[in-house]
Amino acid sequence: MEIDKNQLLRFTTAGSVDDGKSTLIGRLLYDSKAIFEDQLEAIENTSRKKGHEGVDLALFTDGLRDEREQGITIDVAYRYFTTPKRKFIIADTPGHIQYTRNMVTGASTANAALILIDARHGVIEQTKRHAFIASLLQIPHIIVCINKMDLVDYSEEVYENIINQFEEFSSKLYVKDIQFLPISALDGDNVVNRSTNMDWYKGAPLLYTLETMHISSDINKIDARFPVQTVLRPQREGFIDYRGYAGRVASGIFRPGDEVVILPSGFTSTIKSIDTMDGSLEEVFAPMSVTITLKDDIDISRGDMIVKENNQPKPLQEFDAMLCWFNNSPARPRAKYTIVHTSNEQKAMIKEVVYKIDINTYAREEQDKELKMNDIARISIRTTRPLMVDEYRDNRLTGSFVLIDDATHETVAAGMIV
């Protein structure tokens, strides 16, 4: 079947409250026929109870009880739809500043970000924040949707003005690919179908853009990194001496016969085979889950990383990172946390807050050093042992980490190594 070639595309939505995120997602699902009759019926009932006329498509994504009662999105909600060309995973995240951490979470795995702007209001503080987060998390593609065009008479001038406002500040950000689209989520203009109200817009509608976006080239195929998750020793007939290193390729390409180095020990060996239950493979790449066997018997365990001799991550015990603080209780100066980086875990201490960033204005704040919930800062961190790191810009998986508070076991921060 044709479908077997289809890729998965993960995207996140950002916008401030009432810009129409939930409506847009509801519209995408509705027009691509991903909403079932019983779901629609439930939404119709709720809409009627609340006194809305027609169906409020936003209700489809606003899942939890409190959210439906307050009419806002407070967590990340995941939604799915499939077209003949692709499968999509949407991370619908709330827009308020107090949910910055939710946006960061949704952005961490996204191939693309949709940033919504209300055409009546143009670029506002929040737009800058959302663009900042998208660039901080290195989402490769940004689509700026200028929504509610129906409320500005589908005016090309309004649209062009907003693009200019956006480009004024986005030039300071590092983003690979930005596109703009005039839409009406409520009526469906340029969402799945081309708008008949905006002949001046020559580009494709949103869904087509998402379906055809080039994402295979976003994968890092250069730096071979294989964090070992667990060691498989079946010790059963046929596999008595089998010792396989199970994990998921983080980046790069591995083949049997490759000369590899095991970090942190530095031992070298050659890949004997790359196994799966369906047979051995001649070539593997991210994000494949496989099991690697080596020609030599070396002591390897969870947390180690298999890499290639001529291209290695840096073993660092002290480095700088952009950190987003997630927890209600602020960071404690010089307190110890557990740092989780790939499959490796160490203790770590935040040595210094270099500066905090005002994510609305991009201004650096060097006086106030307290890291509170939703703050984003550049920090220096020190770990008990070296971690095998890459810069986040080069490698989203070997350049990222989270901090866990040992007293509560909560994930309190997420970091991107610079």
Site for ligand GDP in 26-45 (CB under 6 A): none
Strand partners, 14: 115
**Which CB atom, from 106 or from 140, has the smaller least distance to Mg ion?**
106
Listed in sequence order, the residues at least 6 apart from 311 whose beta carbon sits closer than 8 Å to its beta carbon are 222, 223, 224, 252
Question: Does 2 interact with another protein (rule: CB under 8 A)?
Answer: no
The residue from 9, 11, 14, 15 that contacts ligand GDP (CB under 6 A) is 15
Query: Least distance in Å: CB of 17 to Mg ion?
Result: 7
Q: Please tell me whether residue 13 binds Mg ion under the rule CB under 5 A.
A: no
Site residues for another protein, 71-110, by CB under 8 A, read 74-80, 82, 86-87, 89, 101-102, 104-105, 108-109
- Considering the rule CB under 6 A, would residue 75 count as an interface residue with ligand GDP? no
For the record, the structure tokens of 385 come out as 């042992």
Please report, in angstroms and rounded to a whole number, the separation of the first and last CA atoms in the chain. Answer: 44
User: Which of another protein, Mg ion, ligand GDP, none does 15 bind, CB closer than 5 to 8 A by kind?
Assistant: ligand GDP
Residue in 11, 14, 19, 104 binding ligand GDP, rule: CB under 6 A: 19
Number of helical (H) and strand (E) elements in the chain, helices listed first = 7, 22
Q: Which two tokens stand for residue 314?
A: 């840096």
Residue 147 interaction partner, one of ligand GDP, Mg ion, another protein, none, beta carbon < 5-8 Å per kind: ligand GDP
Instruction: Tell whether residue 16 is a contact of Mg ion (CB under 5 A).
Output: no
Size of the site for Mg ion (CB under 5 A): 3
d(CA 246, CA 231): 6
22 binds another protein (CB under 8 A): no
Beta pairing class for 141-147 and 177-182: parallel
Q: What share of the chain is helix, strand, coil (3-state, %, to 5)?
A: 20, 35, 40
Among 31, 44, 75, 150, binds ligand GDP (CB under 6 A): 150
- By rule CB under 6 A, what string of x and - marks binding of each residue 159-198 to ligand GDP? -------------------------xxx------------
Number of residues that bind another protein (CB under 8 A): 77
- Contact between 339 and ligand GDP by CB under 6 A: the answer reads no
The residue type at 323: L
Task: Report, in Å, the least distance between residue 24 CB and Mg ion.
Answer: 9
Interface with another protein, residue 282, by CB under 8 A: no
Work out whether 126 is an interface residue with ligand GDP (CB under 6 A): no
Per CB under 6 A, 151 contacts ligand GDP: yes
Best CA proximity match to 390, nearest among 236, 273, 286, 277? 286
Contact flag: residue 144 with ligand GDP (CB under 6 A): no
CA-CA distance, 41 to 358, in Å (whole number)? 44
Which among another protein, Mg ion, ligand GDP, none contacts residue 353 (Cβ within 5 to 8 A by kind)?
A: none
Span from 18-26, 36-44, 263-271, 326-334 in contact with ligand GDP (CB under 6 A): 18-26
**Which letter, b or e, does each residue of 6-34 get, where b requires 16 or more Cβ atoms within 10 Å of its Cβ?**
eeebbbbbbbbebbbbbbbbbbbbbbbeb
Which of residues 20 and 415 has its CB atom nearest to ligand GDP in the complex? 20
Of the candidates 264, 263, 269, the residue with the CA atom closest to the CA atom of residue 294 = 269
b/e code 64-98 from CB counts within 10 Å (16+ = b):
eeebeeeebbbebbebebebebbebbbbbbbbeee
Phi, psi of 157 (to 5 degrees): -65, -45
Contact of residue 186 among ligand GDP, Mg ion, another protein, none (CB under 5-8 Å per partner type): ligand GDP
Binding partner selected for residue 273 from ligand GDP, another protein, Mg ion, none, CB under the kind-specific 5 to 8 Å limit = none
Question: CA 244 to CA 230: how far, in whole Å?
Answer: 9
240 binds another protein (CB under 8 A): no
Q: Where are the alpha helices (DSSP H) in 53-177?
A: 65-70, 100-108, 125-136, 156-170
Positions in 320-339 near another protein (CB under 8 A) = 326, 338
Asked if 205 interacts with ligand GDP (CB under 6 A), we say no
Q: Site residues (CB under 6 A) for ligand GDP?
A: 15, 17-23, 58, 73, 147-148, 150-151, 184-186
